[in-house]
């Protein structure tokens, strides 16, 4: 059963994972997005993407309000939790995200990201995610400027830059996202923080090198991994290109 929301009472928020020093450059990671997988065979699809080098599974949660599409919720996350040991990165494209944080925690989510554009009380929401033992992140739509989240950057495990408008897989990469990645990396350096930079949308062979060179290290890919029906090989090939671009 979902627990009631924890509000501003009790002990201070547990942002225990907040990184205060810049560690060595993080390894580039591939996060297969199950949005483009065969939902009738999710466990097999995820296992194949993992064999191909995926290290975190990206789970797109859509409510038909914030974005014009509906996908899945905590029950599917709960089933996925039993199917893989990889961390589950839940990208919430929903309104009233705060109300659902306890349910995602109960279901076994590891990372939870909420949209700047959908969260009226973003600071509270990030605290709530951390209080539930998950890694909080903020997502920016293509039209949202990076500098708007400056004041909460110390609270996040990662920032997710949307490089397409959220709602669907298989869209074309929006080129100016590269400038946003660079700006975010610059802010991270200036502020002495170590949050990671995730990119979601249109990550594929023709874009991955430039995305990594701009400074992203968490690469979400749906269509490029699952779209052609051979997730293991396609994940492996995409990750290999990303590693070359990162100089790994």
What residues make contact with Zn ion under the rule CB under 5 A?
A: 60, 91, 200
Widest Cα–Cα separation across the chain: 50
CB of 113: closest distance to Zn ion in angstroms?
Answer: 8
Q: What whole-number distance in Å separates Cα of residue 211 and Cα of residue 215?
A: 7
200 belongs to the catalytic site: yes
| Chain residues 149-168 in contact with ligand DX5, contact rule CB under 6 A | 164, 166-168
CB of 209: closest distance to ligand DX5 in angstroms?
Answer: 16
Which tokens is 226 given?
């699952």
- For ligand DX5, which is the closer residue by CB, 116 or 168? 168
| Chain residues 97-126 in contact with ligand DX5, contact rule CB under 6 A | none
Rounded to 5 degrees, what angle do the CA atoms 42, 162, 113 make?
Answer: 65
Partner whose footprint covers residue 222, from ligand DX5, Zn ion, none (CB < 5 to 8 Å by kind):
ligand DX5
Q: Taking Cα atoms as reference points, which of 222, 89, 91 lies closest to residue 168?
A: 222
Strand spans (E) along 51-210: 57-62, 88-93, 111-115, 135-140, 158-162, 196-200
Applying CB under 6 A, the span of 70-78, 82-90, 145-153, 199-207 interacting with ligand DX5 comes to 199-207
DSSP-derived letter for residue 89 is E
Which tokens is 205 given?
């062979």
CB of 206: closest distance to ligand DX5 in angstroms?
Answer: 12
- For ligand DX5, which is the closer residue by CB, 127 or 200? 200
Closest residue to Zn ion, judged by C-beta, is 91
| C-beta neighbour count of 162 within 10 angstroms | 26
- List Cβ neighbours of 131 (8 Å cut-off, separation of 6 or more): 6, 13, 14
- For Zn ion, which is the closer residue by CB, 7 or 65? 65
Partner whose footprint covers residue 87, from ligand DX5, Zn ion, none (CB < 5 to 8 Å by kind):
none
Number of alpha carbons in the 13 Å side-chain half-sphere of residue 244: 10
Helices (H), the chain: 42-51, 74-83, 101-107, 122-131, 177-191, 208-214, 223-226, 231-246
Residue among 89, 200, 217, 234 flagged as catalytic:
200
Residue among 60, 89, 110, 234 flagged as catalytic:
60
Determine which residue in the list 30, 32, 33, 136 makes contact with ligand DX5, applying CB under 6 A: 33
60 belongs to the catalytic site: yes
Q: What whole-number distance in Å separates Cα of residue 213 and Cα of residue 178?
A: 9
CB of 124: closest distance to ligand DX5 in angstroms?
Answer: 23
CB of 107: closest distance to ligand DX5 in angstroms?
Answer: 18
Determine which residue in the list 29, 45, 50, 60 makes contact with ligand DX5, applying CB under 6 A: 60
- Active site members: 60, 200
Residue ranges in contact with ligand DX5 by CB under 6 A: 33, 35-36, 58, 60, 91, 164, 166-171, 200-203, 220-224
């Amino acid at each position: 059963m979902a627990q009631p929301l924890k509000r501003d009472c009790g002990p201070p928020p547990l942002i225990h994972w907040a990184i205060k020093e810049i560690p060595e450059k993080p390894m580039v990671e591939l996060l297969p997005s199950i949005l483009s997988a065969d939902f009738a065979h999710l466990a097999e699809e995820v296992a194949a993407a993992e064999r191909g080098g995926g290290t975190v599974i990206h789970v797109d949660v859509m409510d038909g309000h914030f974005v014009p599409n509906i996908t899945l919720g905590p029950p599917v996350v709960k089933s996925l939790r039993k199917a893989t040991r990889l961390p589950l990165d839940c990208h919430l494209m929903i309104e009233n995200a705060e109300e659902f944080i306890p349910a995602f925690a109960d279901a076994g989510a590891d990372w939870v990201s909420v949209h700047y554009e959908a969260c009226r009380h973003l600071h509270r929401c990030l605290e709530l995610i951390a209080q539930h033992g998950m890694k909080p992140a903020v997502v920016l739509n293509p039209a949202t400027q990076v500098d708007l989240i400056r004041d909460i950057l110390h609270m996040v495990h990662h920032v997710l830059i949307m490089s397409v408008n959220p709602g669907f897989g298989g869209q074309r990469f929006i080129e100016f996202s590269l400038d946003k990645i660079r700006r975010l990396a610059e802010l991270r350096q200036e502020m002495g923080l170590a949050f990671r930079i995730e990119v979601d949308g249109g990550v594929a062979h023709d874009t991955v090198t430039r995305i990594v060179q701009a400074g992203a290290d968490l690469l979400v890919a749906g269509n490029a991994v699952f779209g052609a029906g051979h997730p293991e090989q396609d994940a492996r090939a995409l990750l290999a290109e990303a590693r070359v671009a990162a100089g790994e």
